[in-house]
Amino acid sequence: MYSSRKICLPIAAILLAFAGSLAGATEPGSFGYGSVATPAQIAGWDIDVRGEDGTGLPPGKGTVDRGAEVYAEQCAACHGTFGEGEGRYPKLAGGVGSLRDERPEPTVGSYWPFAPTLWDYINRAMPMQAPHTLSADEVYALTAYILNLNDLVPNEFVADRDSLPKVKMRNRDNFVWTDPRPDTMAKPCMNDCVNAADVRISSTAEGRNLTPRTTGPLDTMQPK
């Protein structure tokens, strides 16, 4: 005579196998967390602006005068009334011609290569205590004011998606946009990779003047 326990075990095994076959027919790999982001949600995170041509700049505009008002309310406490900096907060204006000095001053006017990048940075990170709270028009106005502080645009300049990419920044032509270092040309290997003992160094970045001078110990280092 069979006990009820002996009968139930095979039935349970069959049910588990059946359930497993059903699970295999559904979408694999899901842990049941979260939900699929909607296009609108993804668009909310898509705020990047390309410096070279301003791709991604939104509609809107701002004048230098309006920027002076917004700057006084939101920025002057840290960056000074005229972008001269306060305490440990950085300067936004000045420093022109200082990049080869022992103590360079990399400001918007002396160092930045693209004006749309200034709009992107303000929109993402400023004011520091409440980033991404300014309207597009306020960011355009601040951008116009800071460019004007650096004598890059006239007083009547109006910043918008068309005018910003046309602003000629002083340091625009002094950046190297391609990376000639040989190690960055190698493709990553995940399996059957080359034997490390067979690798030979054919060139280095030494002597190519790729790394700018600093104010630290690296200044005294010489190529081997």
pLDDT tens per residue, range 112-126: 999 999 999 999 999
Cβ 107 vs Cβ 150: under 8 Å: yes
Contact 141, 70 (CB under 8 A): yes
pLDDT tens for 12-31 read 444 444 444 444 455 556 67
Do residues 208 and 180 touch, judged by C-beta distance below 8 A?
Answer: yes
Nearest to 66 by CA among 151, 129, 132, 160: 160
Q: Which two tokens stand for residue 17?
A: 């196998």
Q: Which of 167-171, 174-178, 204-208, 210-214 has the highest average model confidence (pLDDT)? A: 167-171
User: Beta strand pairing status for 61-63 and 158-160?
Assistant: antiparallel
- Given a cut of 80, is residue 129 above it in pLDDT? yes
* CA neighbor of 115 nearest in space, from 44, 52, 41, 63: 52
Q: What are phi and psi of 25, to 5 degrees?
A: -80, -15
Helix axes 136-149, 64-74, angle to 10 degrees: 100
Q: What's the rounded mean pLDDT across residues 196-216? A: 70
**pLDDT greater than 90 at residue 79:** yes
Query: Are the C-beta atoms of residues 89 and 149 closer than 8 Å to each other?
Result: no
**For residue range 166-203, what is the model confidence (pLDDT) as tens digits?**
999 999 999 888 776 666 666 778 888 888 888 888 87
